[in-house]
Amino acid sequence: MGILRIGHISIRVMDMAAALKHYENVLGMKKTMEDKHGNVYLKCWDEWDKYSLVLTPSDQAGLNHVAYKVENDADLDDLQTKIEAYGIRTTVQPEGTLPSTGRMLQFNLPSGHEMRLYAMKEYVGTEVGTQNPDPWPDNIKGAGAHWLDHCLLMCELNPETGVNKVAENTKFSIEVLDFFLTEQILVGPAGDMQAATWLARTTTPHDIAFVGGPRMGLHHIAFFLDSWNDILKAADIMGKTKTKIDVAPTRHGITRGETIYFFDPSGNRNETFAGLGYLAQRDRPVTTWSEDHLGSGIFFHTGEMVSSFTEVYT
């Protein structure tokens, strides 16, 4: 079957104590372990594997890698063959390279972002278990994020030089990793340049997204909430904790998701994302947004772009 879903994100933080406080108290994640290098591992209450977020100490914020879980260990061998045949070099990291995780297939997307694939991670169970579970745990903190939902990666896009890493990443993800395209933004004189794409492996509107910018980087990591009411509660928590909000609660046209964008103490952008929007299927027609409707696609209520949303990322 290949890739199942997003598995974890590893990001750099400049103040571990502040970062840990943020992800525990604002998002409601739980620390599951810390390794000898000072890296901290966390999970959300509705996740069953050991961790979905890795915080690594650094003097600069940003992405280390994004990892996706595959169904079977043999899928790693099949995907390695396909990725190498495409012209991208891979490395196999042995079991235990990351704690509680099996061997990993490591490579860089055409944009330069590091991706890893793995089949095994230690199972620890959700906070409510699988035997006659409650709908949510009693010890929930902060926004009570259910799970790591997706990430959006900024990719170099320069029409003057013809560089379009959004299109390159999209082509690779579809042809080699077997993602499928759910939505896209097309720009340019002919309206045929992919400036942003949203791709899925599951039935959510996107498991990864690529957006064009002057340089590669991490735009945001997103955590799933149930509903619009949960989004508003999350905003209240951010207000109480003086968390820096980038975009207050609103709706996307793209994906139809309900959202807040905000920053962790190091400047990594987070999103709380609610509402599945629609059931993503391989035979569902691709939704296309034109350049003149870009504002409504991103922020449906106002139809206006927020400058920091496109200009600030790690």
DSSP code of 143?
Answer: T
State the Cα torsion 176-199-307-294 to the nearest 10°: 120
Q: Which residues of the chain have pLDDT under 70?
A: none
Give the pair of three-digit tokens for residue 36.
């000898």
Give the pair of three-digit tokens for residue 216.
């590669």
- Strand pairing of 104-108 and 90-93? antiparallel
- Phi/psi of residue 239, each to 5°? -65, -40
Q: What are 261's strand-pairing partners?
A: 247, 271
Catalytic positions are 150, 206, 220, 252, 261, 271
Res 302: pLDDT: 87
Strands (E), 159-202: 163-164, 180-187, 193-200
Res 294: pLDDT: 83
Cα 306–311–313 angle (5° rounding)?
115
Give the pair of three-digit tokens for residue 22.
């943020």
CA of 229: how far to CAs of 22, 77, 234, in Å? 21, 44, 9
Res 165: pLDDT: 98
Q: What are the pLDDT digits (tens) for 266-302? A: 999 999 999 778 999 999 999 999 989 988 889 988 8
Res 160: pLDDT: 86
Strands (E), 252-302: 258-263, 269-274, 287-290
Res 303: pLDDT: 79
Please give the order of strands across the beta sheet that includes 114-118.
30-34, 40-43, 53-57, 3-13, 62-70, 114-118, 104-108, 90-93
Res 90: pLDDT: 98
Res 277: pLDDT: 83
Kind plus residue range of the DSSP H or E element containing 30: strand 30-34
Res 178: pLDDT: 98
Q: Which amino acid is at 289?
A: W
In contact, 276 and 261? CB cutoff 8 Å: no
Res 76: pLDDT: 98
Q: What are the pLDDT digits (tens) for 155-184? A: 999 988 989 999 999 999 999 999 999 999
pTM of the model: 0.96
Task: List domains and CATH numbers for the chain.
Answer: 3-118 (3.10.180.10), 148-311 (3.10.180.10)
Give the pair of three-digit tokens for residue 213.
């910018």
CA–CA distance, 66 with 265 (Å, rounded to integer): 20
CA–CA distance, 206 with 251 (Å, rounded to integer): 15
